[in-house]
Amino acid sequence: MGKLEEAIQQKDFIDPYHKAVVNLLFTHSYVVGYQNALLKPYDLSPEQYNVLRILRGQNGNPTTVSSIQERMLNKMSNASRLVEKLKAKGLVIREECPTDRRQVDVMISAEGLKLLEKLETRIQDSNKYYIKLSESEVRNLNMLLDKLRG
């Protein structure tokens, strides 16, 4: 992929901050492209994968759609729609809450857990492949990204 300037065919930026924002947006697209390609054979989007990971993190305890929405990486995603799609695939269980009929409880199904287990190594290997940085550089990148949002 190389340098940003070559990839988007733009030589100059207003300032380094503008270049950083463009670089982050372009890199986001690069990473999502890899994720889409990896998840496509499993009929999953990155957002659906994110929901499954959130539900797995509940360790068998039900959660609400609004709680899923709060924890999603892409806050613009429609968690209700994603849960319905995952339910149709048999990857999540969606039931009316026994104590509050207005609330819906969502849990990952056994099939959802199996799928995540199957994907685990492929995702880890893929991350190492397309993030062309050493472990030390990745740690530094993570620290800088945390600081950026700080």
DSSP state letters, 72-119 = -SSTTS-HHHHHHHHHHTTSEEEEE-SS-TTSEEEEE-HHHHHHHHHH
- d(CA 16, CA 3) in angstroms, rounded, equals 14
pTM, 2 dp: 0.87
What the block records as the tokens of 30 is 């690069």
**CB-side exposure of 60: number of CA atoms within 13 Å?**
0
Please state which CATH class domain 4-141 belongs to.
mainly alpha
pLDDT of residue 70: 93
- d(CA 65, CA 81) in angstroms, rounded, equals 10
pLDDT of residue 1: 57
Q: CA 71, 49, 125 angle in degrees (round to 5)?
A: 115
Instruction: Using 70 as the pLDDT threshold, list the residues of the chain that sit under it.
Output: 1-2, 97
